[in-house]
Amino acid sequence: MEEVWGGRRALHELACHAVVPAMTLAIPVVQALQVLTVLVVAPGINGVIARVETRLQGRRGSRVLQPYYDIAKLFGKEALAPFGTGWVFLAAPLVAMTCYLTVPLLIPVLTTFPLPFGYMGDILGGGFILALASFVIAIAAASTGSPYAQLGASRAKTFSAITEPVVLFVVFTVALVTGTDLPYALAKTVRASADQIVRPAHLLAAAALFMVILFETGRIPVETHTGTNEFGMIEEARSFEHSGPYLALLRWGSTMKQLILFVILINVFIAPWGLASDASLLAVALAILALVGKCALLGVGIAVIDDSFAKLRLFKITEFVSAAFMLAVLSVFTLYFGGG
C-alpha cells in the first residue's frame, strides 16, 4: 500500500516537472485531448478494420469514414423504445457513454507522464468502469423482453465470468512487476528496458489480455463482428432494441470501448513508445498521430485474424476464454516462482 502511495506521489512530482517547457499546452487541455482523441478516432479504427477485412476478401469494401456517416445518420432518426421498458433502457446508452469517456482519463493515451486525473483510478478502476458500462447495457437489453437482446446479454455475462478473472490475473502480473497497478507505471517500466517486454510473465499476460480483447470487442474467433446471424451473436445482439440516437450512442460507445482496450494493450503492454514526453503542442500532435497509426496497425492484425480463422461454436468459446485464463495464471506463476 505504501509503495502504491509512493508511486503516486512520484507520479505527481513527475507531472509538475513536465509543465515547465515553453510552447506548451495547459495540462487540462492535454487531459481533454486524451478523451477527445478517443472519442473522435474510435469509429475510424472500426472503419479501418472493416476496410482491410473486405480488401483481404477481395472485395472493395466501404469507406474508412463509413462508421461516422452511420452514426450521423442514426442521430437524425427517430428513437423508439419497446413497450414496457423503463428509464433504465433509455439511460443505459448515456451511462455507458459516460463510462467510456471517463476511462481515457485514467490511462496513458497520449502522454508518458501521468495527467492529474490519472490518479483517480488504477487498472482495476478502469476495468470496473468498463464493466459498469457493459452491465448497464446488459440490464437494458434484459429489460426489453426481446429474446435476441436477452440472449446476447446473458451470453456476454456468462463468458465474462471467466474473462474477468483473467483481467484480474493480468493486473496481478502488472502489480507484481511494478509494485503498483497504475497503468502509467507499467508503461514506464516497459519503456525502461526491452528485457521487460521479453520477460515471460509479461508476454503471457499480454497474450491473455489480447485474447480477452478479442472476446470483449466481439471479434473472430468469438463472434462475427458484422454478421447478421442472431444465433451466433453475443455483443452485437444486445443493442437490437435500441434505435435512433440511442443506438448511435451504443455504436459509438462500442467503438470507443474497442479503442480504449487497444490503447491499454498498446500503450501499457506491448508498445508504449511514441507518446508525448512533455506537453508541447508538437509532441502531443505527434502522439495523436502515433496513436492512430499504432491502433490502425493493431486493427490490421485483428482484421487478418478475422479473415483467417473461423468462428468458434458457442460452447467452444469456453475453451477460448479458459485458454486465456490459463495464460494469465501461468504468467503469475512464472513471476511468483522465479522472477520470470
Partner 1 sequence: MASLIAGVAEPPSSFAGLTTALAVLMLVIEFGMLQATLLRAQIRLYAAQSVVISVLAVVVAFARDVPELYGLAAFSVLLKVVAVPLVMFRLLRRTNQEIAGSRALGVASMVLLAVAVAAFGFFASARFQLGSPVLPAAALAVPVAVILVSFVLMIVRRDVASQAIGFFALENGVSLASLVVAAGLPLILEVAFLFDLLVAVVVFGVLIRVHHEQSESLSTEALTELRG
What is the C-alpha separation between 292 and 89, in angstroms, rounded?
Answer: 33
Position among 30, 33, 177, 296 found at the interface with partner 1 (CB under 8 A)? 177
Q: By CB under 8 A, is residue 171 in contact with partner 1?
A: no
Q: By CB under 8 A, is residue 325 in contact with partner 1?
A: yes
Piece of the chain touching partner 1 by CB under 8 A; list 43-51, 95-103, 293-301, 321-329: 321-329
Q: By CB under 8 A, is residue 249 in contact with partner 1?
A: no
Quote the least distance from Cβ 278 to partner 1, whole Å: 15
Quote the least distance from Cβ 232 to partner 1, whole Å: 20
Q: What is the Cα gyration radius of the chain?
A: 20
Q: By CB under 8 A, is residue 226 in contact with partner 1?
A: no
Piece of the chain touching partner 1 by CB under 8 A; list 27-35, 150-158, 269-277, 326-334: 326-334
DSSP state of 182: -
Piece of the chain touching partner 1 by CB under 8 A; list 54-62, 133-141, 150-158, 194-202: 194-202
Q: Are 251 and 75 within 8 A, CB to CB?
A: no
Quote the least distance from Cβ 45 to partner 1, whole Å: 29
Q: Are 49 and 303 within 8 A, CB to CB?
A: yes
Position among 24, 34, 150, 180 found at the interface with partner 1 (CB under 8 A)? 180
Nearer to partner 1, 244 or 340 (CB): 340
Position among 178, 217, 239, 255 found at the interface with partner 1 (CB under 8 A)? 178
What is the C-alpha separation between 173 and 190, in angstroms, rounded?
Answer: 13
DSSP state of 20: -
322 bridge partner residues: none
Q: By CB under 8 A, is residue 143 in contact with partner 1?
A: no
Nearer to partner 1, 1 or 22 (CB): 1
- Dihedral angle, C-alpha 320, 127, 39, 297, nearest 10 °: -40
What sign does the CA torsion over 109, 114, 115, 120 have?
A: positive
Position among 185, 213, 234, 248 found at the interface with partner 1 (CB under 8 A)? 185
| Cβ-based burial of 289 (10 A; exposed 0-12, middle 13-18, buried ≥19) | exposed
Site string for partner 1, 301-320 (x = CB under 8 A): -----------------xx-
Piece of the chain touching partner 1 by CB under 8 A; list 23-31, 36-44, 102-110, 187-195: 187-195
Cell of 184: 502509467
Helix (H, G, I), strand (E, B) or coil at 42: helix
Q: By CB under 8 A, is residue 155 in contact with partner 1?
A: no
What sign does the CA torsion over 54, 56, 57, 60 have?
A: positive
Piece of the chain touching partner 1 by CB under 8 A; list 172-180, 215-223, 255-263, 271-279: 172-180
Q: Are 31 and 117 within 8 A, CB to CB?
A: yes
Q: Are 225 and 302 within 8 A, CB to CB?
A: no
Q: Are 209 and 314 within 8 A, CB to CB?
A: no
Piece of the chain touching partner 1 by CB under 8 A; list 200-208, 226-234, 235-243, 270-278: 200-208
Quote the least distance from Cβ 20 to partner 1, whole Å: 15
Q: Write out 239-283 in H/E/C secondary structure.
A: HCCCCHHHHHHHHHHHHHHHHHHHHHHHHHHHCCCCCECCCEHHH
DSSP string, 67-86: HHHHHHHHHTSPP---TT--
Position among 36, 91, 203, 292 found at the interface with partner 1 (CB under 8 A)? 203
Quote the least distance from Cβ 66 to partner 1, whole Å: 38
Kindly list the residues in this chain that would bind partner 1 in the complex (CB under 8 A): 3, 6-7, 9-11, 13-14, 176-180, 185, 188-189, 192-196, 198-200, 203-204, 318-319, 322-323, 325-327, 329-330, 333-340
